Structure 1
Amino acid sequence: MTSNPAIAANTRPWRDPDAKPFISIQHVTKRFGDFTAVNDVSLDIFRGELFCLLGGSGCGKSTLLRMLAGFETPTEGKILIDGVDLAGTPPDRRPTNMMFQSYALFPHMSVEKNVAYGLLREGKSKAEAMSHAAEMLKLVKLEKFARRKPHQLSGGQRQRVALARALAKQPKVLLLDEPLGALDKKLREETQFELIRIQETLGVTFIVVTHDQDEAMTLATRIGVMTEGVIEQVGEPREIYETPKSRFVADFIGSVNLFEGRVGPAAPDLMRVETEDLGPVVAPPVAGLTQGQTIWLAMRPERAWLTRERPAESVNCVPGVVQDMGYVGHMSSYMVKLANGRLVRVTQANEGRRDNPISWDEQVHVSFEPADFRVLTE
């Protein structure tokens, strides 16, 4: 991801304990009858961030976004933007604007009139509104399509019209609910970088709701991973991927192999772990664990090595058979069946033209370094 000027100037303010958040969500709970959609969520977001709320359907991320927009009222807690408590403030009086997944464009209006609509409703003159709409269309690279109707545009172009309309009112915070969900995979990937460019150009704080892990990893300065109404972990994309705090986060972000084990004797730099799937292995020591305690070892597929012969220097190695494999251009993905029937996923880069690549039904060894394990206790 290209560095965000607003963020770079502050050197990642979330790392500074004295930095003042731009958005402060404080112990917010939202109940619908007996159902708790958002449960005691506290979250700070800083000016100029492109923050992603990531989670599966029904986790509470869209409800949290709607409370920021003013379409839902918190049952408990409060939300502040730029130091102002938004309690009782209707959506049209908030320094926010929301872009919906459906885009909600007016089919009978031209593109430029769709973008100018909110400004005209606010009392701007037609000349001023249309001039600003033209600026927004230039920003999203649609100035040549100003006179077209929405049905004459592609899905990606309609998405950018909706974005231009949402930005035209110059909100302090733009809320985007699954903004790229209606696009096909290739167009979605292209539009992600276009969204980053626009956000960086304007310096507006973006909060994006998505269920797509790759999308969040590409877009975000930071990610909040949600499940069952709570935020499991907040962090930069690399932090979320490399150092998940729970099995849920490890499993939700990308692919992972999880092995249950019990803590064995500890050495100064290593910890022995007894596992059913891998047998005894060594992992990085973790403070506060007791011998015999149940833990889980998380290992990303790209961290493992797959070889026909057992590497002489490997301290963690287990034999298996290639049950399945897939070629994905830059890499190959293998499913290796261990002696107890457990399947382990391994991915390897396809470097050059290998004359004798590993294939189906081969006897192999899966090896990994102690540091390749992430030790989890929950």
Structure 2
Amino acid sequence: MAKKPQLAIDTRPWRDTANNKPFVRIRNVSKKFGDIIAVDDVSLDIYKSELFCLLGGSGSGKSTLLRMLAGFENPTSGAIEIDGQDMTAVPPYDRPVNMMFQSYALFPHMSVEQNIAYGLKRDGLPRAEINARVEELLALVKLEDYGKRKPHQLSGGQRQRVALARALAKRPKLLLLDEPLGALDKKLREETQFELVKIQESLGVTFIVVTHDQEEAMTLATRIGVMNQGEIVMVGEPTDIYEFPNSRFVANFIGSANMVEGVVSEDEPDHIRIRSSELGCDIYVGHGVDCAPEQRLWWAIRPEKMVLSREKPAGLNGANVATGIVEEIAYLGDISVYQIALESGKRLRVSQTNSVRGNPDAITWEETVYVSWDEDAGSVLTS
């Protein structure tokens, strides 16, 4: 008799908040510097073994929030709990937390081994235990043969891994990383992102990473908290943040999006129709939306969700097909990005995969083309 396949266990505790307790609780936390509100009434739950990314632009409050978790700044109001303990009166050195800075802050006169062992020696651990821990961490970050070297003898990626090993040496329950890959070049940063994920998964330590790099957050994170002007404006898994943004800010901040303004002309339980003078056609959305007839709203669609063609496709109920002229083409190797000028003056960005090598039939400059999309390809946004 065939064995019944077992259902995979969902290891994402944030999807079952009734049966999972947050490891980090941030409750109504605000931070003011004089008249400036750096963090504004932030509440956030982060679960054990997450790799959570705080993503935002300069001045969004993400680093200030991280410093409050570390204990380097005190909240003006609100409370922070880590592993069930209120951190309000706990100094940084007594928190079950370590922090890895963007500069790495390695001691230049010490070897790699001595840098990693520094905190353990300060805590008075036996030499044999320190040596075993250092050896274990060197293997974890794949620097077994570099223990005797000084930081200046290492590449940027190697120094980053030494700083990570040192931050993990005291086995913190929570590791805070402030722009950890910001000093690396693009190719090395991409390689190191996957290494960082592997290390975090193998240890099970909860990581909170601050970054302004959207691609980095999408690669690293189990979940992302998008920050703007001191507030968390959306929290979700990378696919949720990208595919289902909750506002124009999030849609524009994460990746590239075409943003179109329109007016609701049909509002039904199973669909809505948006009249768009910018597109020169209606937008048919294949699901209901909480809106009203004649309401002004916005529709966002990613460049890769649109299709270019020379022949006019059959539109859905006479909608979802715009026409324009190819104004610019950016060839990026794996994809080409087309800028299409519509009659209204609106410009759309449409990307296509370059699946055919040296395609002689590729759409080119100054051609008249049709841009089409599926009924569920875009996001309707009311704010």
| Structure 1 stretch displaced more, 323-332 or 263-272 | 263-272
After TM superposition, list the pairs within 5 Å mapping 1:149-168 onto structure 2. 149-168=150-169
1:373 Cα deviation after fit: 1.8
Matching residue's letter, 1:17: T
SS at match of 2:107: coil
CA contact (8 A) 2:271 2:289 kept: no
Could you tell me which residue of structure 2 aligns to residue 13 of structure 1? 13
Matching residue's letter, 2:284: V
Could you tell me which residue of structure 2 aligns to residue 298 of structure 1? 300
SS at match of 2:42: strand
Could you tell me which residue of structure 2 aligns to residue 365 of structure 1? 370
| Structure 1 stretch displaced more, 156-165 or 323-332 | 323-332
Query: Structure 2 unaligned runs (5+)?
Result: 1-7
Distance 1:84 1:25 in 2: 12
SS at match of 1:335: strand
Query: Structure 1 unaligned runs (5+)?
Result: 1-7
Could you tell me which residue of structure 2 aligns to residue 49 of structure 1? 50
1:125 Cα deviation after fit: 2.5
Q: State TM-score, norm by structure 2.
A: 0.95
SS at match of 1:370: coil
Distance 2:346 2:264 in 1: 21
Change (3 A) 1:41 1:268: closer
CA contact (8 A) 1:28 1:41 kept: yes
Matching residue's letter, 1:325: I
Distance 1:132 1:9 in 2: 32
Could you tell me which residue of structure 2 aligns to residue 111 of structure 1? 112
Listed one character per residue, the Cα deviations across residues 65-109 of structure 1 (whole Å, up to 9, x for unaligned) are: 000000000010000011100111111100000000000000000
Could you tell me which residue of structure 1 aligns to residue 324 of structure 2? 320
Distance 2:273 2:203 in 1: 51
1:131 Cα deviation after fit: 2.3
SS at match of 1:17: coil
CA contact (8 A) 2:80 2:86 kept: yes
List structure 1 segments (4+ residues) > 3 angstroms apart after TM superposition: 284-287
Matching residue's letter, 2:311: E
1:10 Cα deviation after fit: 5.4
SS at match of 1:366: strand
Distance 2:274 2:200 in 1: 46
| Structure 1 stretch displaced more, 121-130 or 149-158 | 121-130
Matching residue's letter, 1:319: T
| Structure 1 stretch displaced more, 48-57 or 321-330 | 321-330
Listed one character per residue, the Cα deviations across residues 259-297 of structure 1 (whole Å, up to 9, x for unaligned) are: 011111234532111112113222234343111111100
CA contact (8 A) 2:315 2:321 kept: no
How much identity, in percent, do the aligned residues show? 61
Distance 2:10 2:298 in 1: 37
SS at match of 2:363: coil
After TM superposition, list the pairs within 5 Å mapping 1:77-156 onto structure 2. 77-156=78-157
Distance 1:188 1:79 in 2: 31
CA contact (8 A) 1:22 1:45 kept: yes
| Structure 1 stretch displaced more, 320-329 or 154-163 | 320-329
1:350 Cα deviation after fit: 1.2
| Structure 1 stretch displaced more, 140-149 or 258-267 | 258-267
Distance 2:203 2:266 in 1: 55
Change (3 A) 1:268 1:252: same
Distance 1:14 1:41 in 2: 17
Could you tell me which residue of structure 2 aligns to residue 4 of structure 1? none
CA contact (8 A) 1:266 1:285 kept: no
Q: 2:345 aligns with which of 318, 325, 341?
A: 341
Distance 2:270 2:14 in 1: 31
CA contact (8 A) 1:256 1:301 kept: yes
After TM superposition, list the pairs within 5 Å mapping 1:132-281 onto structure 2. 132-279=133-280, 280-281=282-283
CA contact (8 A) 1:103 1:159 kept: yes
Change (3 A) 1:10 1:272: closer
CA contact (8 A) 1:284 1:373 kept: no
Distance 2:251 2:50 in 1: 24
Matching residue's letter, 1:222: R
| Structure 1 stretch displaced more, 25-34 or 264-273 | 264-273
Number of residue pairs matched by the alignment:
371
Distance 2:372 2:268 in 1: 21
1:329 Cα deviation after fit: 1.7
After TM superposition, list the pairs within 5 Å mapping 1:21-32 onto structure 2. 21-32=22-33
